[in-house]
Structure 1
Amino acid sequence: MNDIPSPHDRDLPPGRHQALREHLMREIETGDGAEAAHGTRPPVRPARRLWRRPAFVAPAVAATLTAAVVVGATFTQNAAAPPRPGVDTATGRRGVAPSDESAAKLLERIAEAAGRRTLPAIRDDQFVYTEREDYHWKVDPERSRTTCASTDEGHFFGVRETWWSVDGQHVGLSREHKDNGKVVERSVAKQLRAKNNVNFYREAEDELPTDAGEMYRYLYGLKSAEQPSGEKTADRDAFEKASALLTGQLLPPKVEVALYLALARIPGLTVYEGTEDAVGRTGVSIGMDGTFPRDFGQDRTRHELLFDGRTLAFLAQNAVNLDTPDDDCEVLEAGDLVSSVAILERGVVDRTGQLP
């Protein structure tokens, strides 16, 4: 039922081992001080001051998908890290390389693979189970008292399991796994159908197009006779809407096929090999470069959809910083993850708390 590979060898992005890093930095600083005192090496340049970015705000579709959960602020961890050696200057990330394959051709192959996958008969009283890892960088709060602009962040971070009612008429469950080992459970209220949004599986089945042309118009918000404006912002918004559908809910196979074929028609997409998500899985990605409103203080970023290189199953959605720091308030290097939503497992179960 689930083609998503389990996360192996979690070579996590910057910020996931904060305590270890701080301990290491203390050891380094201690050693540097001793060496400088004996004249064996010059003192190191002070670390850049760190700017705490505003909170991650998902697109309208994703916001609606999660609106039923009573969300408490979950704070992300420090993403500041020294530059990494061996980074590919063309992509900003080590091991990531542009592919010769066009995005349209790859998406056609992804659609074909999705069309071969099937789901069992799903009952209204069942639940869609999703396990996902949310990552968003932030600075260490103890180091954030600087002259740089600073705001609080309050978005999901870490592993979260959800059980969404198939028909929206049953109370679901959200289970958040905190970094301190604490597990927080909250009920997910019954869902209502909403115009232009998808809250649960039956609604996706009933409301989302299964024809590629209709899905294309849905992503762009077009009426039947309208054509896209040609503006890059319209292409960006259509790509973001598709990303929100993939990360937010289990999609019926025919809907998923139509979505990939519609994505293939969006201009400005590029293919990269060796892309990595928040849990260290690598695969092939389809990305769009630009300035995205939900990245706030970031300048240029690439938003990517990551797929397993073998099965072509959807794995994650990434936002990657593309610019090098241009002042002391900038922290992320080119290639650092701004955010990532990694789908670890999905399936259909009979009750909340049950695993596929």
Structure 2
Amino acid sequence: MDEMTALREAFGPDPEPGPRVRERALAVLHERMRSAPMAAVAVPAVRQRRWPMRVALTAAAASLAVVGAVAVENIGTVSDSGKGYSTVGLPFPRPASAAEVLTNAAWAASRKPWTDPRPDQVMYNESRQLRNEKAYENEHPNDPIVPGHTRTALVQEWKRVDGKQMGLVQDGRLVVYDQGNGRMHWMQLDYDLLKGLDTPAKVLDFDKNPPRTGSIRLDALLGQYVLPPKVEAAVYGALAQGEGVRLNPDAINVDGRPAIGLGWVEEGYLAKEFLFDPSTYSLIGERSVAIADHHNTDEHGDDDFTPKGALFRQVIYTKAIIVEKVGDTA
């Protein structure tokens, strides 16, 4: 069974609108930032709730699982910069738990080649997001993905290491923003602070005691920044020590590739997963899916129903590299 068929069966006929989910709202904000005139756009400081460490993923999250994954013991790969590195000697050639997968991910991440960037260099993050058709998304920005009426959106974002500049693509054109110029402000963690998060203990303390400049979830930290290998490895190590992260009993297929899912549950019904490559143990994406029917009250006091199986977010990370200037992609 392919993933779209699985989604259709999970949704059933004529799915009702879902709740206001933070990830969908943020995705629509980015979409509108790319399509609006530059002078009319003000980028808010988006503060996301810190990642809950003590939550559990139920087996129902496997409802969208369609493809099995096989771990490879002796492998090599290349980093996003194109430099080769080896993953021969994985701590767990055939991991059987979330902690073992995360230990492999930390081990592999720590072996990536790396040179600390200059303050004037730029973090480039690129992803492909499964989204509803644009017209429907504009009318229903927080609804789940509607099978058969989707598009794949290429999301590109540039942030200078020193936080002074950001770039986005709007209507196919690169637009560059300067921090503090007019109404333009965005929250960005100091890179020296990030570089210092080089042990699991430091990451756990960061998650528990975020800086005054604003908190950020650990999953957002992995997806929105270009982290030094030691820091990325430390994040995985911290997650491996926490309670509640569970290995999806079945792998899933995204973007034509098998993936290992590690997940947790938020608000009692929304399962979120990191997606790892089963050969290299690199982080390749994330997704959010309802694992139970859920009733909520919207801003008008009306019932807002989410059916089990509703997919709210599916993102594939395609690049996370340091480049020389805003607009560079390699």
Considering the TM-score relative to the shorter chain, is it more than 0.5?
Answer: yes
Partner of 2:194: 204
Higher relative contact order (CA 8 A, sep 6+): 2
Q: Pick from 261, 264, 286 the counterpart of residue 237 of structure 2.
A: 261
Distance of aligned partners of 1:184 and 1:271 in 2 relative to their CA distance in 1, 3 Å threshold: same
Q: Is the 8 A contact 2:60 2:291 kept in 1?
A: no
SS at match of 2:316: strand
Q: Where do 5+ consecutive residues of structure 1 fail to align?
A: 1-10, 22-45, 75-87, 145-150, 177-181, 224-237, 292-298
* Matching residue's letter, 1:346: A
Residues 10-53 of structure 1: per-residue CA shift (max 9 Å, x gap): x8768x9xxxx9xxxxxxxxxxxxxxxxxxxxxxxx94363254
1:303 matched to 2:272: yes
Distance between the aligned counterparts of 1:330 and 1:275, measured in 2? 26
Richer in strand (by share)? 2
Q: Is the 8 A contact 1:91 1:97 kept in 2?
A: no
Give the alignment's Cα RMSD to 1 decimal: 4.5
Q: Is the 8 A contact 1:115 1:257 kept in 2?
A: yes
Q: Is the 8 A contact 2:204 2:238 kept in 1?
A: yes
TM-score by length of 2: 0.62
Distance of aligned partners of 1:185 and 1:332 in 2 relative to their CA distance in 1, 3 Å threshold: farther
Partner of 1:54: 20
Q: Is the 8 A contact 2:18 2:305 kept in 1?
A: no
Residues 270-303 of structure 1: per-residue CA shift (max 9 Å, x gap): 11242244x4433112111242xxxxxxx61211
Distance between the aligned counterparts of 1:191 and 1:120, measured in 2? 29
Distance of aligned partners of 1:101 and 1:122 in 2 relative to their CA distance in 1, 3 Å threshold: same
Q: Pick from 138, 154, 158 the counterpart of residue 163 of structure 1.
A: 158
Partner of 1:91: 62
Residues 167-218 of structure 1: per-residue CA shift (max 9 Å, x gap): 223x332115xxxxx41433232389xxxx743645522xx42121121122
1:339 Cα shift? 0.7
**Structure number with bigger Rg:** 1
Distance of aligned partners of 1:280 and 1:329 in 2 relative to their CA distance in 1, 3 Å threshold: farther
User: Which structure 2 residues correspond to residues 322-333 of structure 1 after superposition, within 5 A?
Assistant: 322-323=291-292, 332-333=307-308
Q: Is the 8 A contact 2:19 2:305 kept in 1?
A: no
TM-score by length of 1: 0.58
* Matching residue's letter, 1:275: I
Distance between the aligned counterparts of 1:262 and 1:68, measured in 2? 30
SS at match of 2:286: strand
Aligned length: 255
Moved over 6 A (4+): 67-70, 97-100
Distance of aligned partners of 1:162 and 1:200 in 2 relative to their CA distance in 1, 3 Å threshold: farther
* Matching residue's letter, 2:327: G
Q: Is the 8 A contact 2:23 2:313 kept in 1?
A: no
Distance between the aligned counterparts of 1:351 and 1:286, measured in 2? 34
1:322 Cα shift? 1.0
Q: Is the 8 A contact 2:271 2:290 kept in 1?
A: yes
SS at match of 2:101: helix
Q: Pick from 109, 114, 118 the counterpart of residue 119 of structure 1.
A: 114
Partner of 1:173: 167
* Matching residue's letter, 2:208: Y
Distance of aligned partners of 1:139 and 1:330 in 2 relative to their CA distance in 1, 3 Å threshold: farther
Distance of aligned partners of 1:189 and 1:141 in 2 relative to their CA distance in 1, 3 Å threshold: same
Partner of 2:41: none
Distance between the aligned counterparts of 2:21 and 2:294, measured in 1? 20
Partner of 1:190: 179
Distance of aligned partners of 1:68 and 1:315 in 2 relative to their CA distance in 1, 3 Å threshold: closer
Distance between the aligned counterparts of 2:321 and 2:220, measured in 1? 18
1:90 Cα shift? 7.3
1:69 Cα shift? 11
Distance of aligned partners of 1:201 and 1:51 in 2 relative to their CA distance in 1, 3 Å threshold: same
Distance between the aligned counterparts of 1:191 and 1:115, measured in 2? 35
1:249 matched to 2:225: yes
Q: Is the 8 A contact 1:247 1:341 kept in 2?
A: no
Distance of aligned partners of 1:122 and 1:105 in 2 relative to their CA distance in 1, 3 Å threshold: same
Distance between the aligned counterparts of 2:203 and 2:245, measured in 1? 17
Distance between the aligned counterparts of 1:95 and 1:152, measured in 2? 27
Distance between the aligned counterparts of 2:285 and 2:132, measured in 1? 16
1:324 Cα shift? 5.4
**Identical-pair percentage:** 21
1:221 matched to 2:209: yes
Distance of aligned partners of 1:125 and 1:72 in 2 relative to their CA distance in 1, 3 Å threshold: closer
SS at match of 2:154: strand
Distance between the aligned counterparts of 1:97 and 1:140, measured in 2? 35
Compare 336-345 and 243-252 and name the one that shifted more. 336-345
Q: Is the 8 A contact 1:123 1:166 kept in 2?
A: yes
* Matching residue's letter, 2:218: A
Partner of 1:275: 252
